[in-house]
Each structure stands twice: as C-alpha cells, then as structure tokens.
C-alpha cells in the first residue's frame, strides 16, 4: 500500500469514526471467509457495516475523534462493526459472537462513551431506532382508535338493541 492509499484509508476511517453512532471492535482470528461473509451480510441487513483495517491506520484516524477511546482495543486481528443507528452494530456483533466462538468482542464506543464488553452487550439489548418509532406511533395511535371506537359505539349499540327488539317481536 503506497502513501496515497494509506491517506485515503485514514480519511475513510476518520469519516466512519465521525459519523457512526456506535463502533464495536472485535478479534476475528480463525474465522473463515464464509463466516466473514456471513457477518457482512448480517450487518448489511441491519444497515450496519464491517471493516477490517490496519490497526496503525485506524489509530491515526481516531486522533481527535469522539470515539478515540477504542484505540486501546486495536491490537491483533481486529474488525470494526459500525452503524449510524446507535444499536444496530452492537446487535449484529453480539448475534454473530453467539454463533461463532472465534469472534471475540473487545469493546467499542458510542459517541464519546467508551464501552467495554459488558457495555456492548447492554447496548445490543436496547431497542433499535425502528422499534422506538413503532412504539411511539403505537402510543399515539391508541388514543385515536379509542376515540373512533367511542364515537362509533352508540350507533352499534342502537343497532344491536333494534335487532334484539325485532327478534323478540318475531318470537312473540
């Protein structure tokens, strides 16, 4: 890799570290190509990304970034899982780590907050952005459906009373 390529990689990594809601660092030693492809496909489905980069270049890119605390985890064969959604990358990494014992999560960062192994696990259990939006919409929609039901209820009550009266008249 020549100097221009290294500078480009450092710039790309810097953008990743700047714009990501969460970055998870893990060791991937011993994973097969198929297993790495599985990790990448899981990340794509969750709108996250996976990146393997030289630790030295990643440390240069971390300089002055909010998640600079992950520099301590960058040793050995490391892989970065990241996403704009503050939960997606952690969920992907945790799910993959459960299926593959060779994938060892070291820690990560959520903005300026450093995460250890337990912190990444805790973040992965949080609801995603989509789940939060769905629950908020559900809370907002519930009163509206209750109002609609209350408005429509008197008419249905009158109809059922009339049908009961009609049935009694036919029976008599």
Compute the distance between CA of residue 126 and CA of residue 124 in angstroms, rounded to an integer.
6
Local confidence band at 114 (pLDDT 50, 70, 90 cut-offs): confident
Percent of the chain exceeding pLDDT 90 equals: 32
pTM value > 0.85: no
| pLDDT above 90 (res 172) | no
| CA 81-74-17 angle, 5° bins | 50
Predicted confidence (pLDDT) per residue in 82-101, tens digit:
998 888 899 999 999 999 99
How do strand 113-115 and strand 49-51 relate by DSSP bridges? unpaired
The answer to whether 110 and 123 have CB atoms below 8 angstroms apart is yes
Average pLDDT over residues 58-74: 88
- The neighbour count for residue 16, using CB atoms within 10 Å, is 19
The beta-strand segments (E) located in the chain are 22-27, 49-51, 78-83, 104-110, 113-115
Average pLDDT over residues 19-47: 92
């Amino acid at each position: 890799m020549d100097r221009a390529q290294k500078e480009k990689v450092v710039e790309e990594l810097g953008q990743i570290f700047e714009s990501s809601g969460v970055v998870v660092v893990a060791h991937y030693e011993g994973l097969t190509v198929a297993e790495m492809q599985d990790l990448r496909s899981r990340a794509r489905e969750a709108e996250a990304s996976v990146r393997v980069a030289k630790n030295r270049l990643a440390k240069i890119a971390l300089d002055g970034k909010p998640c600079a605390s992950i520099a301590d985890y960058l040793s050995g064969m490391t892989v970065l899982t990241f996403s704009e959604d503050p939960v997606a990358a952690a969920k992907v990494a945790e799910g993959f780590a459960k299926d593959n014992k060779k994938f060892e999560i070291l820690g990560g960062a959520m903005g300026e907050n450093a995460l250890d192994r337990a912190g990444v696990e805790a973040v992965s259990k949080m609801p995603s952005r989509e789940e939060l939006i769905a629950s908020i919409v559900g809370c907002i929609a519930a009163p509206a459906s209750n109002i609609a039901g209350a408005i429509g209820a008197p008419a249905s009550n009158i109809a059922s009373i009339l049908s009961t009266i009609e049935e009694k008249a036919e029976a008599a």
